[in-house]
Amino acid sequence: MNLHVTLAFLGNVEAARLPRLRAVAGEAGDIGIGPLCLRFETLEYWPRPRILCASPEPVPSAPAFVLADHLKRATLAAGFVPDLKLFRAHVTVARKVAHASERQAMRRVSWNCDAYALMASTTGAEGAVYSAVESYPLDRSKKAREWA
């Protein structure tokens, strides 16, 4: 589950605040954007963080931006400290890359998304490992799914 698109990055959250974060995250699906699709068509090298990532080309669908913005505003209003940089959809495919071409075409990969998730990361010897805490449907007629 290490491949993901970060909609809103919060950093460390105290365990005692997790129930509030889960509630805030769950409410974001109420904005009614429904399922969305992201199409990744370009590999980009970002030299400063030394990552190779897949990016949408052209700009991804507006619903992804709407959801990311809503999550940032909702978590900020609830007293969390999200990274407020403009949402830039990407999937990190490699870390600690010393050098690569700045941009190159790739075979299109389409991600059809009918849910978003609250993720937790832990860092080990192999790097960050991501796991879903809870997922929330973009179709509000469905219920949230809690991961064990």
Integer Cα distance of 115 and 68 in angstroms:
13
Tens digit of pLDDT for each residue in 137-148? 987 666 656 554
Q: What is the DSSP string of 26-81?
A: HHGGGG----EEEEEEEEEEETTTTEEEEEESSPPPHHHHHHHHHHHHHHHHTT--
| Dihedral sign of CA atoms 20, 119, 116, 95 in order | positive
- 143 exposed, middle or buried (CB, 10 Å; 0-12, 13-18, 19+)? exposed
Q: What CATH architecture is 15-146?
A: Alpha-Beta Complex (3.90)
Residue 27 near residue 74, CB atoms below 8 Å: yes
Domains of the chain, by residue range, sit at 15-146
Identity at 103, one-letter amino acid code: R
Q: pLDDT, tens digit, for every residue of 51-87? A: 999 998 666 568 888 999 999 999 999 999 999 998 8
pTM of the model: 0.85
Q: What are 97-124's pLDDT values in tens digits?
A: 998 888 898 999 999 999 999 999 988 8
DSSP state letter for 7: S
